[in-house]
Amino acid sequence: MKVLVGVKRVIDYNVKVRVKSDNTDVDLSNTKMAINPFCEIAVEEAIRLKEAGIATEVIAVSVGSSASQEQLRTAMALGADRAILVETEDTAEPLTVAKTFAKLMADEGAELVILGKQSIDSDNNQVGQMLAALTKRPQGTFASNVSVEAGHVAVTREIDGGLRTVKLALPAIVTTDLRLNEPRFAKLPDIMKAKRKPLETKTFADLGVEVKQHIQLDKVEAPAARQGGVKVGSVDELIQKLKDEAKVI
């Protein structure tokens, strides 16, 4: 069984996000970038399937700039067998990414696609669902457990107030939640080997993916700076302030 995993290059979660002074976008110049944490979990899950003898090949796929090669190399250092970069200098919309995966899923004959439930930069939470719709295949989103059985994958999903397990016929799409697994650290010899694993670069045109713009980014603003706190003298005063000043009760 071939497994495709999505790998997105995003701002490192340790880095403080800065907004460009003209509010057009987040300032990414010279910031440390990393694999989206949910994608890292997806890679880990795919590698575990390979180690368990279930997956035969793990292919890491990124849609992004040429710099995304770094994150694909990381995925290969963690254990992915090869990588495909669909190169674009523009931010790809969720639908474009979903279309790209749909095409690659068909081309590669992948039976399982594991994606992060969302990326920590734009927090859209859309690609997995759109991919399922485009390919008319079942989806198991927000996975906290994945187990593949003959022709099926059972996915335990994190939902409000509990867990829900669904059984999907393969091929299927799974998106990962935080608790699915704890990604490993790359081993040094594997980092070296990753340099020699195949990384193929394609364009939307190569794949016949039509890029249409549906979303326009109007502006980006930093959250309001936190105001200093005040000490209240009594519970009554607190309640009064919550009512009159904060207007939350």
Partner 1 sequence: MSYQAPYKDMQWLVEQAYQTQQLGNLESLQDFDLDLANAIIDEASKFASGVLAPLNMVGDEEGCTFSDGQVTTPTGWKDAYAQFRDSGWIGLALPEEYGGQGLPKYIAQPVNEMWLSSNLAFVMFAALAQGGSEILLKFGSDELKARYLTQIVTGEWTVAMALTEPNAGSDLGALTTKAIPQADGTYQIKGQKIYITYGEHDMAENIVHLVLARTPDAPAGSRGLSLFAVPKYRVNEDGSCGEFNDIRCTGIEHKTGLHGSPTCSISYGDNDNCVGELIGNLNQGLMAMFVLMNEARLSCGMQGVGLSELAFQKALQYSKERVQGARADGQRVAILEHPDVKRMLLNLRSESFALRSLGYQIAALIDVSEQSDDAEAVKAAEKRIALLTPIFKGFATEQANELAGDAVQVFGGMGFVEETGIAQVMRDARITTIYEGTTGIQAKDLLHRKIRVDQGRCISELMADIRDVVEKSPDSVVNQRLGQALNQLAHVLDSTILNPSAELAQLDAVAVPFLNALGGICCAWQLVELAQRAQVSKAEDEVFFGNVVALAEFYSAYKLPQAQAALTTVIDEQNGVGNYEF
Q: How far is CA 126 from CA 118, 139, 155, 185, in A?
A: 7, 12, 18, 28
CB 38 within 8 A of CB 5: no
The C-alpha atoms of residue 101 and residue 147 are separated, in whole angstroms, by: 22
Contact track, partner 1, 46-75, x by CB under 8 A: ------------------------x--xx-
Which one, 27 or 108, has the nearer CB to partner 1? 27
For residue 100, give both structure tokens: 């790209």
Which amino acid appears at position 23 of this protein? N
Among 32, 179, 219, 243, binds partner 1 (CB under 8 A): 32
Choose among 219, 224, 244, 220: nearest CA to 232: 244
Strands 9-11 and 33-35: antiparallel
Which element (helix H / strand E) includes 141? strand 139-149
21 binds partner 1 (CB under 8 A): no
Which one, 13 or 149, has the nearer CB to partner 1? 13
Query: Closest approach of Cβ 197 to partner 1, in Å?
Result: 13
189 binds partner 1 (CB under 8 A): yes
CB 25 within 8 A of CB 11: no
Stretch touching partner 1 by CB under 8 A, among 82-90, 126-134, 153-161, 181-189 = 181-189
Query: Closest approach of Cβ 188 to partner 1, in Å?
Result: 4
Among 1, 186, 207, 220, binds partner 1 (CB under 8 A): 186
The 3-state DSSP class for residue 173 equals: strand
How many positions of this chain bind partner 1 (CB under 8 A)? 18
Query: Any idea which residue has 């694909």 for tokens?
Result: 72
Query: Closest approach of Cβ 69 to partner 1, in Å?
Result: 9
Stretch touching partner 1 by CB under 8 A, among 147-155, 184-192, 205-213, 216-224 = 184-192
Query: Any idea which residue has 């701002």 for tokens?
Result: 11
Give me the residues that bind partner 1 (CB under 8 A), please. 14, 29-30, 32, 34, 70, 73-74, 77, 185-189, 191-192, 194-195
